[in-house]
Amino acid sequence: MIIVSGIRLPLGSTAQEAEEAARKAVGLPGDYALRKISYDCRRGKASMVCSVTASLEDQETEKRTAAAHPEMQFFQKQQLSPKPGTEKPRHRPVVVGAGPAGLFAAYLLSEYGYCPVLLERGADVDSRTTAVSSFFSGGDLNADTNVQFGEGGAGTFSDGKLTTRISDGLCDYVLNTFCFFGAPDDILTKAKPHIGTDNLRSVVKRIREKIIENGGEVRFLCRMDDLITADGKVIGVRCTDGDIPAETVILACGHSARDTYSMLMDKGALITAKPFSVGFRIEHLQSEVDRSLYGKLAGDPRLPKGEYSLSAQVSGRGVYTFCMCPGGNVVAAASEIGGTVTNGMSYYSRNGINANSAVCVSVNPADFGSNPIRAIDFQRNMERAAFAAAGGRYAAPASDAGSFLEGKRGLNIGSVKPTYPRGLTAVDFERLFGSELTECLRGGIRAFSEKMSCFGSPEAILTGVETRTSAPVRINRGEDRQAVGIKGLYPCGEGAGYAGGIMSSAVDGLRTAAAVIERFSPLKD
């Protein structure tokens, strides 16, 4: 097929109008379909910018046509059709973790007749929602069922953002699978698609039900405490409800499974420290974000809620915004007793008063001696310091942006009402981040203010700490996707250090499951 890009149309134009514009540009008969929509609101004018796919008579015609037009690209849609192997398995494959990587790995295995056992340390999504709501309301933290752990993984309590920087052809497979299980169809055409926390909960439940229908098994509140090995090979897993024999374990543990990292290092897996980032959440009024991005067009119902992605280099470190949630809330994302962690979430409607985003500064192996244990401790110590600085009970350290930029301790609440549910305490963030990282964060906010007029508003609220931006370590694997040092263990997803976000994690889970399929024969037709 051909992708026809850069089609500009007035706000409110239809998919049919975009497809007709592409048909005229190509000048050949074929099947035309809207692919993506984005918006350009520069210089006080707004337009839709669309791309359209065109399937012509044959591939040679498509290639010639694309080569003759710079705004067109030949694209061969990637199929996911692994060929089952011939090695006969003794046991069902075990998948550890029901986040995007584990869920999609288990789903693909079940579709091909491998009847996987999916283990999740946290609760099913309905029980998990109840536990998280209780914690937000002041209840005790459940260390196994929370914003980080449970069915759907950390992404279930975010925004369901499906933007990704990877260009893997399986992204379309992931999007179409989400739609098949109930996600809004517009995720197929939005340039920045999102499902929303509310919709994602029902989607992951339906995927789980399909895995079971296909012959798989799903066990909740079942934490893997040990990997049983012999002669450097997996022979089973030890979990909270007993031992499970297995020669194949897909490990999709998520970026917060620190106990799993420690266990794997004891087992001889090669785990290395990797770069990650730390920072805080910043909240603005969504109306001010819209005004900064859209100018006089702010409030036009034909435009989406304003969202941004900003980055800068400050004193040799990268500072950037991450996981921006239009119309959302800052949430209490702790998963360890005595540590305070923040994250952001929003529902599909994105109709909250505030927008929030992480503002993070990069840290690298040199900051913790290239030691994976010290990398984990870097995060953990910062979270514990935040807990203590805010007075305990999972209140969060906070500051208004004006005080932070002036190097003062202060929390002056103006037009931006903070949304973090467990309460805030005014804290000098330099106590938590140290002077170097703090100055980088200040420099980042100042740099972002030059791009967005509202960003450095004195009334913006900063809430910390944001430490779970990505895994601090990588579980090294070979070209066969098996862990270095442990045969039969297939680490994947964000927790293994090979992805970042829902889309790339799901794709990595699919490719890992495909590697297992291509090695073994199915358990059933």
Residue 500 maps to a domain: yes
Residues 484, 477: contact at Cβ < 8 Å?
A: yes
Q: Are residues 123 and 30 in the same domain?
A: no
Give the chain's domain count: 3
- Angle at which helices 258-267 and 372-389 cross, to 10°: 160
Please report the pLDDT score of residue 49 as a whole number. Answer: 96
Residues 365, 278: contact at Cβ < 8 Å?
A: no
Collapsed DSSP state (helix, strand, coil) of residue 232: coil
Name residue 142's amino acid.
Answer: N
397 Cβ contact partners less than 8 Å away, ≥ 6 residues apart: 340, 386, 389, 390, 424, 425, 426, 427, 429, 432, 463, 464, 465
Residue 208 maps to a domain: yes
Residue 121 maps to a domain: yes
Query: Beta 72-74 vs 2-9: how paired, if at all?
Result: antiparallel
What pLDDT, in 10s, does the model give residues 161-215?
Answer: 888 877 788 999 999 999 999 999 999 999 889 999 899 999 999 999 999 999 9
Question: Can you list the residues of the chain whose pLDDT is less than 50?
Answer: none
Query: 321 phi and psi, to 5 degrees?
Result: -90, 155
**Domain span holding position 248:** 94-272+474-519
Q: Are residues 253 and 311 in the same domain?
A: no
Q: Are residues 324 and 216 in the same domain?
A: no
Residue 377 maps to a domain: yes
Residues 219, 117: contact at Cβ < 8 Å?
A: yes
Q: Are residues 247 and 362 in the same domain?
A: no
What residues form DSSP beta bridges with 425? Answer: 397
Collapsed DSSP state (helix, strand, coil) of residue 457: coil
CATH of the domain at 177: 3.50.50.60
Q: Are residues 338 and 216 in the same domain?
A: no
Q: Are residues 445 and 297 in the same domain?
A: yes
Please report the pLDDT score of residue 525 as a whole number. Answer: 57
Distance between CA 147 and CA 159 in Å, rounded?
12
Residue 307 maps to a domain: yes
Distance between CA 75 and CA 232 in Å, rounded?
42
Residue 86 maps to a domain: no
Distance between CA 98 and CA 149 in Å, rounded?
9
What are the structure tokens assigned to 264, written together? Answer: 């794997």
Residue 366 maps to a domain: yes
CATH of the domain at 14: 3.30.70.2700
Please report the pLDDT score of residue 502 as a whole number. Answer: 94
Distance between CA 161 and CA 155 in Å, rounded?
8
Please report the pLDDT score of residue 169 as a whole number. Answer: 83
Q: Are residues 160 and 201 in the same domain?
A: yes
**On the CB side of 457, how many CA atoms lie within 13 Å of its CA?**
20
Which has the closest alpha carbon to 252: 520, 514, 510?
A: 510
Q: Are residues 150 and 267 in the same domain?
A: yes
Please report the pLDDT score of residue 45 as a whole number. Answer: 85
Q: Are residues 25 and 152 in the same domain?
A: no
Collapsed DSSP state (helix, strand, coil) of residue 368: helix
Residues 222, 120: contact at Cβ < 8 Å?
A: yes
Q: Are residues 515 and 387 in the same domain?
A: no
Please report the pLDDT score of residue 189 as a whole number. Answer: 93
Q: Are residues 152 and 32 in the same domain?
A: no
Residue 229 maps to a domain: yes
Q: Are residues 139 and 229 in the same domain?
A: yes
Tracing tokens 């996911």 back to the chain, one arrives at: 80
